[in-house]
Amino acid sequence: MSAQPEHPADSRVHSIPHTINAIGDALTGEQRARFYGEVLAAEEADVPTVMRRWWCAAMLHSARGAETSRANAAAGRNLVSVEDLLEQVERQAG
C-alpha cells in the first residue's frame, strides 16, 4: 500500500463561487467588512459590478504564494517584466 495520493495535487487556484457569502468568506476581515458594506449600499443594478470587483480581489488573494508575491513587489524583489510574464503564460498555454 502506498501513501502517495492517487492524483497529483492541483496547483491551480480553485474558483470561488460568485455568491455574496462565498466572496465574503474568501476575503480578509477588513476587506470582508468593506465588501459587505459596498454590497449593502449598492443599488440593485450595481450589485453584480460590486460582486465582480470583489470576486477578483478574493481570487487574487487566494492564489498560492500571493502574500509572498505582494511582499516581494512592495520591496522591489524578484520582479518580472510584463514581456517575460506574457512569454511564461504563452509557454504554459502550449
Give the Cα separation of 17 and 26 in Å (integer).
Answer: 10
User: What is the CB neighbour count within 10 angstroms for residue 35?
Assistant: 22
User: Domain count of the chain?
Assistant: 1
Give the Cα separation of 16 and 23 in Å (integer).
Answer: 7
Q: pLDDT band for 77, please (50, 70, 90 cuts).
A: confident
Report if residue 79 sits inside a domain.
yes
This prediction has a pTM of 0.62
Report if residue 12 sits inside a domain.
no
Distances (CA, A) of 31 to 26, 27, 61, 66: 9, 6, 11, 16
Report if residue 48 sits inside a domain.
yes
Report if residue 27 sits inside a domain.
yes
Report if residue 14 sits inside a domain.
no
Q: Which domain holds residue 62?
A: 20-93
Is the pLDDT at 7 greater than 60? The verdict is no
DSSP-derived 3-state class of residue 9: coil
Report if residue 74 sits inside a domain.
yes
Report if residue 10 sits inside a domain.
no
Report if residue 77 sits inside a domain.
yes
> pLDDT tens across 41-70, in order?
999 999 999 999 999 999 888 877 878 887
Give the Cα separation of 63 and 59 in Å (integer).
Answer: 6
